[in-house]
Chain A
Amino acid sequence: MTVLCVNSTVVYADITAADAAEGGTDYGVPTRYEQTGASSSSVVFSGGDYPSSIVYIATTGEETDGTTLTGAQCTGLITSSVDNALIQDLRTGRITFVGVNHSNLNLVSNGGGGDAYLFDTTNAATSTNCIRYNCSEGCRANSTNDNYIETNCTVVDATGFGVLRPRAVDSVSLNTNSSAYLQVGASSSNYWADDGTGSNTITEGTPTDIFENYAGGDYRIKPSSSPGVAGAGAFINSGGGGISLTIDPIDQTQTIEQVTLTQHSIISIGGLSQAQTVDQVTLQQSGTLSINNLQHIQTIDQVNLTQAHIVSVNDLSQLQAVDQVSLNQGNVLSVNDTDQLQSIDQVTLSTAGTVAINNASQAQALEQLVLSIAGTVTINNLSQSQLLEQLNLTQAHVLSVDNLSQAQLLESINFNGVVVGYLQGALTIVSAYNGQIKLTNPLTGEIRIL
């Protein structure tokens, strides 16, 4: 039952006494009155007394909770012409503002059968989160004022109009004798009524379903009510009622991408009968190329094997098996049991290669064979007119020729400067000796020096 003037720190019996004493003193900032308990007398705040404006507010801990029963209050008439005045967190009686800008915030106002709130027709003002009840009109002006904005306000049980001529936003007016809304500002929106005069219609049939405890004077909006869900009305959900919130489910799908293998391929070609099988085969690492049981004119155009490869050509009957074979390291070229006019056009073995030609019956086995290092050429059991066109062995090679019956075995063999061939029809070894040419017949042992 006291009012503290914060600016002067003086405590007064009520707001009337505080105004009487402090009015006329300009503190350079708004004069702040904090209400404890109740003031029952009326007060008139004059603009001239408060050039820096006023704040009339509940003391901390006594703010209204939105019910008509709890919180600091001023039950008398509050009249104000103070520019930019603020009344906040109080239970009040009637309030009248004239000719000035002002603000009301968090008020529960008992009209006492009269107009709960009056405002003028031109000035800008706001009322936010305010309840007005037991009134003739809830809030009223003489003509429409779109500059005065009622936001989240509630009017209930008005014997006249509920909301008359302000801009109404997110507000509720119901159970009024005359229209819930009349001549509201053009910018009004989301204002709810039970008589069709609002922008939205309250769907509940009785005020009991709108307020926390209508019969008990608790006019806080239920959050689950139709205006409450839309965020309209004063003190929504402050009654402790639970809002039911719907949470959306999460659905996930998943896929597994296709797996692609790019290394360590094996190419196997079998059982083919065709003019040309493979145009070009390139195996970079550890590949195996196997060609079996083929009958065709040309099997492989070009084969390049760079590391540790095996080329196996078996059981062929063809005009030309391999056009060009290049084996660079540790390779094996095996040509077995072939019956053909020409097996290999050119074979180049660079390192430790092995060429094995067995049981061949052919007109020509090798066009050209080059073994650079430590190669082995094995030619066995051949019956043919010409086996090797040209054989170049540069280092440490082994040439084994057994059981041959043929018109011509070797056209020419070059052992790093030592040539073996036929001279005047006789097998002859030709070598350089002390600057001269040495001819040796390996069969008779005869030596001639040119």
Chain B
Amino acid sequence: MSKNIPNLQIDGMLQLVEGDVLNICSAQPTTYTEAITTFQLASFTVVGGNYVLAAGDVSGRKNTLAALTGATIDNTGTATHAAVTLLAGTELKLVTTTVSQLLTSGGTVDTSAFSHEIQQAT
């Protein structure tokens, strides 16, 4: 008999870390304030339709945040992290890394799509 977590439950885990802002940061934020202010270089508004749930590439399920375009770069710096935040409750939801890239204030930035996958239990 194997271990199993139903896909519906894994989807619930993935949706727990969805947010409404994608912040491009110059360092790893550990708090909501660090993500939206201290380390932020640029930000994108995220809506529910930007997320797509699907079967995981390895197993389990994955949640993909679509590519976003045209965010104004507010501060000059080198982007190293991307952080998802939720305004309601001022929550830091998820932090991942980016390819290191210099961003100069006044320009714009586009992001690639990226996925969050939770594999089946073992």
Which residues from chain A sit less than 8 Å from chain B, CB to CB? 223, 229-231, 235-256
A-B contacts, 19 listed (Cβ < 8 Å): A231-B102, A236-B104, A237-B104, A237-B107, A240-B107, A242-B108, A243-B108, A245-B24, A245-B110, A246-B111, A247-B112, A248-B97, A248-B99, A249-B116, A250-B115, A251-B58, A251-B117, A253-B122, A255-B122
User: Taking chain A's interface residues, is the majority helix, strand, or loop, or is none over half, making it mixed?
Assistant: loop
Which residues from chain B sit less than 8 Å from chain A, CB to CB? 3, 5, 24, 58, 69-70, 73, 78-79, 82, 94, 96-99, 101-104, 106-122
Which residues of chain B come closer than 8 Å to A246, judged between CB atoms? 98-99, 101, 111-112
Provide the bound-state CA to CA distance between A238 and B102, in Å.
12
Provide the bound-state CA to CA distance between A242 and B70, in Å.
7
Q: Indicate if the CB atoms of B98 and A241 lie closer than 8 Å.
A: no
Contact pick for A245, options B3, B99, B116, B117, CB 8 Å: B99
Q: Indicate if the CB atoms of B108 and A240 lie closer than 8 Å.
A: yes
- The count of A-to-B residue pairs whose CB atoms sit within 8 angstroms is 105
Contact pick for A241, options B79, B82, B107, CB 8 Å: B107
Q: Indicate if the CB atoms of A245 and B98 lie closer than 8 Å.
A: yes
Which residues of chain A come closer than 8 Å to B120, judged between CB atoms? 254
Minimum-distance CB pairs A-B, first 6: A237-B107, A237-B104, A231-B102, A247-B114, A246-B99, A242-B108
Which residues of chain A come closer than 8 Å to B108, judged between CB atoms? 237, 240-243
Q: Taking A242-B69, A247-B112 as given, write out 17 further A-B residue pairs in contact, using a Cβ cutoff of 8 Å, ordered by the A residue number.
A: A229-B102, A231-B78, A237-B106, A240-B108, A245-B103, A245-B109, A246-B98, A246-B99, A247-B96, A248-B96, A249-B115, A249-B116, A251-B58, A251-B117, A251-B119, A252-B116, A255-B3
Provide the bound-state CA to CA distance between A242 and B44, in Å.
13
Which residues of chain B come closer than 8 Å to A253, judged between CB atoms? 119, 122
Q: Indicate if the CB atoms of A247 and B58 lie closer than 8 Å.
A: no
Q: Indicate if the CB atoms of B111 and A254 lie closer than 8 Å.
A: no
Provide the bound-state CA to CA distance between A73 and B38, in Å.
36
Provide the bound-state CA to CA distance between A229 and B116, in Å.
27
Provide the bound-state CA to CA distance between A319 and B91, in Å.
75
Provide the bound-state CA to CA distance between A242 and B103, in Å.
10
Distance in Å: Cβ of B9 to nearest Cβ of chain A: 11
Which residues of chain B come closer than 8 Å to A242, judged between CB atoms? 69-70, 107-110
Distance in Å: Cβ of B109 to nearest Cβ of chain A: 5
Q: Indicate if the CB atoms of B96 and A254 lie closer than 8 Å.
A: no
Q: Known contacts being A252-B118, A252-B119, A255-B122, is A244 close to B112, with CB within 8 Å?
A: yes
Provide the bound-state CA to CA distance between A256 and B79, in Å.
36
Provide the bound-state CA to CA distance between A238 and B97, in Å.
25
Q: Known contacts being A223-B107, A242-B70, is A236 close to B119, with CB within 8 Å?
A: no
Which residues of chain B come closer than 8 Å to A229, judged between CB atoms? 101-102
Q: Which residue of B lies closest to A235 (CB)?
A: B104
Distance in Å: Cβ of A439 to nearest Cβ of chain B: 74
Which residues of chain B come closer than 8 Å to A223, judged between CB atoms? 102-104, 107
Q: Known contacts being A243-B110, A247-B111, is A254 close to B5, with CB within 8 Å?
A: yes
Q: Which residue of B lies closest to A237 (CB)?
A: B107
Provide the bound-state CA to CA distance between A243 and B71, in Å.
10
Provide the bound-state CA to CA distance between A256 and B97, in Å.
27
